[in-house]
Amino acid sequence: MSGPLVVLVGPMGVGKSTVGALLAERLHTSFRDSDADIVAAQGREISEIFVEEGEPYFRELERAAVRTALAEHDGVLALGGGAILDASTRALLTEHRVVYLAMGVDEAVKRTGLNVARPLLAVNPRRQWRELMEARRELYTEVARAVVSTDDRTPEEVAQAVLDALELKEA
């Protein structure tokens, strides 16, 4: 199978980047984050892109960044929380080892503080996070070969659970 060894999906703040970096270290491979690719290419934060250009523009950038990363990267790849909204992205993901990192709203509050740096959560963050998850949970599950809960687990424990779920051995 070509492409990434593991692709991590899940909501903002679930720890995809942290867990992804740990997985890459354990598997002796590289880590890539599609959101970081967008920030590097645009020279500005995602929240700025949302404010200045709007969500549809950002989603176009995201679709292209994910497609490129899936084609080029052979290590561990983390996708932005909304990447799975795009049907063509979901279709591409069917060919890969995708793990959905899941968390409950209480964990989301602890981890992100559901703060305003998250453009989709600027007003009434708890309710908006729940609504986002209701809209996205099924899509995350659809693309995933495994679902790993991050609630009450350290990043190291989550990384181990991902390895176990995919039956991958540390290099």
Say which CATH number the domain at 63 has: 3.40.50.300
Q: Is residue 45 part of a domain?
A: yes
The residue segments making up the domain with residue 107 are: 6-166
- Comparing C-alpha atoms, which of 96, 90, 66 is closest to residue 140? 90
Give helix 46-53 / helix 55-72 axis angle, nearest 10°.
Answer: 140
How many domains, in total, are found in the chain?
A: 1
For 92-144, the pLDDT digits (tens) are 999 999 999 998 766 666 655 545 455 555 556 667 767 777 888 899 999 99
Residue 119 has what pLDDT?
53
User: How many C-beta neighbours within 10 Å does residue 40 have?
Assistant: 10
Q: In what order do the strands lie in the sheet with 98-102?
A: 31-33, 76-78, 6-9, 98-102, 146-149
Helix (H) or strand (E) holding 109: helix 105-112
Q: Is residue 1 part of a domain?
A: no
**Mean pLDDT value of segment 29-45:** 96
pLDDT over threshold 70, residue 7: yes
Is pTM beyond 0.85 here? Answer: yes
Q: Is residue 151 part of a domain?
A: yes
| Share of residues in the chain with pLDDT > 70 (%) | 85
Q: Is residue 148 part of a domain?
A: yes
Q: Is residue 171 part of a domain?
A: no
Residue 116 has what pLDDT?
46
Q: Is residue 143 part of a domain?
A: yes
